[in-house]
Amino acid sequence: MKYWKYYLVALLVILIDQLSKWAVHHYMQPGMAGEIPLIGDWAKLHYTLNPGMAFGVELPPPYGKVLLTSFRILAMFGISYYIYYLWKRRAVSGLLWSVALILGGAMGNLVDSIFYGIIYDNAPFGAPTPWFHGQVIDMLYLDLYEGFLPASWPLVGGMHLSLWPIFNIADSAIFIGVALILLNQTRFFQTQDDDAVAKPLPAEDPVAAQARRDAETSELA
């Protein structure tokens, strides 16, 4: 299968991500009305739409989303080629698996941006076209903490903090891929040249070594 197995992993991430979004869209109500507790009060399924990038960051309308989606398309081709490049360079397989997760996650959200304005009619009001303006479906809600930090803490004391990320399977794949690379960068990015330097040179055959010395002695004579 050569390098194709890494693209198949990316495809698997896309399929799982899109199936989960389809199920959420068809079987859950948006917002708090449709929340489904998973683990106590801090892990839930919560149907919401994300019009932009991570954490809801948006580029200026009306064509900011088109620029964002175009950038994602370029990034998709770049990451796809990078997997092939790494495979040709005989990179560590763990790095290839990690990049494959990132590719799958990026493509999963790209499908939302390109097609969901048509498929699910969820383009924001006033979008110049439903194409390339689809909103990403998020559903994994971690209600970790919301409140004021202790006043005794330096610099941030007394500040209000909200930690309740809402994300999807594609986001999770990207996060896992990046985390694996950061945690294993020493092993993943050790070059073959470093390995070659570290390996001792093979011992010379004794018979060949004696023949070489005899030839050198005869030349001096």
Q: What is the pLDDT of residues 78-131, one digit of tens each?
A: 999 999 999 999 999 999 999 999 999 999 999 999 999 999 999 988 888 899
Active site residues: 138, 171
Residue 7 CB coordination number (10 Å): 16
Mean pLDDT of the chain: 85
Check: CB of residue 132 under 8 Å from CB of residue 125.
no
Name the H helices within the chain. Answer: 4-27, 64-88, 93-119, 169-183, 185-188, 192-198, 206-220
Whole-prediction pTM: 0.79
Looking at residues 43-68, what average pLDDT do you find?
74
